[in-house]
Amino acid sequence: MRGRVFRHDLGVCPVRESDSTVSPVVEAWATYRTTSAAEWNARRLVRAKGASRVSVVLPARNEEATVGAIVSTIREHLMDRVALVDELIVVDSRSTDRTAQVARAAGAEVVSQDAMTRGLPRLTGKGDALWAGLAAAEGDVVAFVDADLREFRPHFVTGLVGPLLTDPSVEFVKGFYHRPLVGATSVEPDGGGRVTELMARPLLNLFWPELAGFVQPLAGEYAGRRDVLAQVPFVSGYGVETAMLIDLLELVGLDALAQVDLGERKHRHQDTAALGRMSAQILLTVWSRLQRRGWAAPGADPTPLLTQFRRGGSEALPNLEREIVVSDVSIQERPPLAELRHRVPRRRMAAA
């Protein structure tokens, strides 16, 4: 259960009471609201969905190597063989390769992130592509799947939408999985969730312990009811998944959230410097939520500039043998889609 919260004169965030055992709320939730993708049969879900429509959205930026296989798999197994998925949308997030052409040839409807947000402030990052995908989707249930997955299987979709189509009390489903990290000489079976373990999980446990039962809070595979997703803002950068969990917890409560075991996830891994920038955006996202709830002093905004060091390089400083690299990791947010629906162009007009 949530402990007592104390305000600190210097704006340092809440101090909470702690236990040495798992919270009974978290344990009960994890037991009750966790399923396996193997439990959800596509044909049974077709019968369960009735008149509901299901949309699958893939945000994609320069993913021509993987997006085609994902689209083909969904279309073959979940649209042609069984009519579970009603629309399949790829959001082209300013790709400079053939992502859009490959996705369209494989059978997806492709929309442009910029076209879907025309007339609104220009934002960058994955969160804005997700918002554009939600704006384009017409399904009652919307599932998001990352476009860089390798060896993609249909159960990634059936597992996510299963609880939503069979239990009206579930509003949002998060995927989790094993994420192998392939090194030069070895493979760590669960070594791929570095930002989760080093940044996201400690923060959520500290300030939103109700969310401690989520195995993969940063997972890019999740699904929700469209009308619920339209009520939360989308952070433009890599903090989008963290913000979504926190905001949905406040909007619908823990019992309306669920998670599903999707098995193993294989995808491209980023280098340590990139993970540092991702972590910084997650930290800024959490700080913004703490401020909104009065848990951090208003106006005490941390700097959005992240200083890192790159070995060698043409501008390496004397004695350091490294060059200093400063990145702007600031975050912005799209307001909830429900607030801007009248300003979003029709999808057919927004196609790339």
Distances (CA, A) of 168 to 141, 161, 206, 281, 330: 12, 12, 31, 34, 37
- What is the spatial distance between Cα 312 and Cα 292, in angstroms, rounded to a whole number? 42
- What is the spatial distance between Cα 323 and Cα 167, in angstroms, rounded to a whole number? 54
> 217: Cβ–Cβ under 8 A, 6 or more apart, which residues?
174, 196, 200, 201, 204, 211, 241, 242, 245
Residue 298: phi and psi, rounded to 5, are -65, 140
- What is the spatial distance between Cα 71 and Cα 88, in angstroms, rounded to a whole number? 8
> 335: Cβ–Cβ under 8 A, 6 or more apart, which residues?
233
Using alpha carbons, select from 172, 177, 171 the residue that is nearest to residue 156. 177
pLDDT in tens, the chain (352 residues): 333 333 344 444 454 555 567 789 999 999 999 999 999 999 999 999 999 999 999 999 999 999 999 999 999 999 999 999 999 999 999 999 999 999 999 999 999 999 999 999 999 889 999 999 999 999 999 999 999 998 899 999 999 999 999 999 999 999 999 866 555 564 555 544 678 899 999 999 999 999 999 999 999 999 999 999 999 999 988 899 999 999 999 999 999 999 999 998 765 667 888 889 999 999 999 999 999 988 887 777 888 998 888 887 778 777 788 888 889 989 999 999 999 877 787 654 444 4
For residues 13 and 207, the answer to whether their CB atoms sit within 8 Å is yes
> 202: Cβ–Cβ under 8 A, 6 or more apart, which residues?
none
